[in-house]
Chains A and B, each alone.
Chain A
Amino acid sequence: MNATPAATAQNAAVDELRSTASQVRRDIVRMVHACQSGHPGGSLGCTDFLVALYFQVMRHDPANFTMDGIGEDLFFLSNGHISPVFYSVLARSGYFPTAELNTFRKLDSRLQGHPTTHEGLPGVRMASGSLGQGLSVGLGAALAKKLNGDPSLIFTLHGDGELQEGQIWEAAMAAAAKKADNLIATVDWNGRQIDGDVDQVMPLGDLRAKWSAFGWEVLEMDGNDMGAVLHGLNDAISRTGKGKPVMILMRTEMGRGVDFMEGSHKWHGIAPSDEQLQAALKQLPETLGDY
């Protein structure tokens, strides 16, 4: 049986996004290697999600960045330590020159260790790094959109360990109470945090039940299968505008794409050696040209 034209187009889109994701993963390991610091694990795990968001799903205008982003979908990174993937995706989608990725975590750079508006980097609308604050920020931005009569959406991303912060649950309660149905939050549910597995450090319990009980529309998706990510994000968007904020519980593998970084929390925040960089790059085809 032949595929329908729509399915063929969808497959082509998925292939192109996968190809972009491979380049972004190269950027991540090269950036972290170059300054011998940073957080490759969560960055690699969230690459497919952020590539789908910035290259396919969000309506945004990288060439004409404004802080207010009126009429655009906006993204807030709450788990700011995965800045390498954020910076790569911003640069690759046109917010600033990819050559600037060379400056990551170096003196006088706009690419600080954790993202900030302080140096005026286009694409960044909030400082993050101290965890637990981004859902409140996303909620505020979502309510501002409603006041402005702006029908576009707010996306946020959080670590699963970050859900241990109390402010997240303050925001969870408030978002439902304020009927912020233009807000789509995503949790990077990789089950790992700095000190070990989330289940060992501080178990989160039944996340789906918790977010549902807080009044959110909840869906789950595989965050490392590009087709599933696109499907999940479109599903989430279809659930907006119905009186409830939307939560995507996104299953990912920390370190995804580099075999020796997968399966452990150890690559949360360390940099690869020269040999490890070469081993990683062999697994990640250069598709768009290295910066």
Chain B
Amino acid sequence: MTSYPVLDKKDTRSGFGEGLLEAAKLDDRVVALCADLTGSLKMDAFAQEFPERFFQVGVAEANMMGMAAGMTVGGKIPFTGTFANFSTGRVYDQIRQSIAYAGKNVKICASHAGLTLGEDGATHQILEDIGLMRMLPGMAVIVPADFNQTKQATMAIAEHEGPVYLRFGRPKWPVFIPADMPFEIGKAQVLSPGKDVSLIACGHLVWNALQAAAALEQQGISAEVINMHTIKPLDQGAVLSSVGKTGCVVTCEEHNRHGGLGDAVAQVLALHHPAPQEIVAVNDSFGESGTPDQLLKKYGLDTPDIVAAAQRAIRRK
């Protein structure tokens, strides 16, 4: 299988911060709003470099979403920054009416998503956000795999016309996507080709999927690893071409098993190419406090869980 050396360990939110700064340098229509989490979202560099284009809105996320929508009238490209929970569930109706239905060019940038937020616990570990956002007509949903890709994705969404939900996280995580690997919204990446099972992952779990593929290779199983960084619009062709070859699939995501990547892939398969699927995701529960590693293990999202799911999927062929 293709090997991906660990280039570094960095948080994806820092990739967002760097990407935002670069996007702002390239396009003066880019503005940013933050709800009292400038440091957590790594937006400090933008705020320092472009103080007149940075809007601190305080702990008032609903107003932030409305302001961002309003700023598009006048041609701005607003990026909002807060935790994933406060970027979605807390402000769903504001996003639905003022951004999605109104078709506004707002980039909703959400950090600290999923279990790997860690010690803060379930109030902050949203596991439903991908589902909430992909149900909104016209909303693109992007979950990049590492620091490099989050930076690329942040710059790419500035050039994409229409509302976007960009989901990233808190912990330092392996950086393994080469900085020069092309990133295109809606175009999945086959990171490692294989023939026995497709591992389709997003976000932090792309790294785990690669580790799982290496472990499976030791058992003589050839796994194809696909980085599905865009959940919507889903790269249906990539799913069908991979599963057409391997005959079964495991989806991997740091999200509730309802509403996320697993559902999106299952819909494609059910409609076009029914095949065994296993879903590595949180089993319809809330999270809890703990370290990211402990939580991934306890909630069944760790590398051995992906390996076991692949074995189950292959048996069901």
If over half of B's interface residues share one DSSP class (helix, strand or loop), that class is named, otherwise mixed; here it is helix
What are the residues of chain B within 8 A of A150 when measuring CB–CB? 74
Docked Cα-Cα span, A124 to B94, in Å, equals 18
**A117 & B76 in contact (Cβ 8 Å cutoff):** no
Which B residues between 46 and 70 are near A, CB-CB below 8 angstroms? 52-53, 55, 57-58, 60, 62-70
Question: Does B31 sit at the interface, judged by CB under 8 A?
Answer: yes
Interface size of A by CB at 8 A reads 40
Docked Cα-Cα span, A178 to B60, in Å, equals 14
Docked Cα-Cα span, A129 to B94, in Å, equals 11
Which A residues between 98 and 142 are near B, CB-CB below 8 angstroms? 116-118, 125-130, 132-142
Docked Cα-Cα span, A132 to B98, in Å, equals 11
Q: Which of B62, B97, B103 contacts A170 (CB 8 A)?
A: B62
**B71 & A141 in contact (Cβ 8 Å cutoff):** yes
CB nearest neighbor in B for A137: B70
Question: Does A145 sit at the interface, judged by CB under 8 A?
Answer: yes
**A167 & B103 in contact (Cβ 8 Å cutoff):** no
- A74-B97 contact given A136-B67, A139-B66, A173-B60, CB 8 Å threshold: no
What are the residues of chain B within 8 A of A177 when measuring CB–CB? 58
**A116 & B101 in contact (Cβ 8 Å cutoff):** yes
**B102 & A147 in contact (Cβ 8 Å cutoff):** no
Question: Does A69 sit at the interface, judged by CB under 8 A?
Answer: yes
Docked Cα-Cα span, A148 to B73, in Å, equals 11
CB nearest neighbor in B for A134: B66
- A147-B53 contact given A116-B101, A117-B102, CB 8 Å threshold: yes
What are the residues of chain B within 8 A of A134 when measuring CB–CB? 66
Question: Does A144 sit at the interface, judged by CB under 8 A?
Answer: yes
| Chain B interface extent, by class | 20 to 34
B33 to chain A, nearest CB (A): 9
Q: What's the count of A-B pairs with C-beta under 8 Å? A: 116
**A138 & B55 in contact (Cβ 8 Å cutoff):** no
Question: Does A68 sit at the interface, judged by CB under 8 A?
Answer: yes
- A128-B67 contact given A148-B75, A167-B62, A173-B58, CB 8 Å threshold: no
Docked Cα-Cα span, A231 to B67, in Å, equals 29
CB nearest neighbor in A for B138: A118
**A178 & B73 in contact (Cβ 8 Å cutoff):** no
CB nearest neighbor in A for B63: A170
**B76 & A127 in contact (Cβ 8 Å cutoff):** no
Q: Which of B74, B97, B103 contacts A144 (CB 8 A)?
A: B74
Question: Does A228 sit at the interface, judged by CB under 8 A?
Answer: no
**A147 & B76 in contact (Cβ 8 Å cutoff):** yes
Q: Would you mind naming 16 contact pairs between A and B with Cβ atoms under 8 Å apart?
A: A126-B69, A126-B73, A127-B97, A133-B94, A136-B63, A136-B98, A139-B67, A139-B70, A140-B68, A140-B69, A140-B72, A145-B74, A167-B66, A170-B63, A171-B67, A174-B58
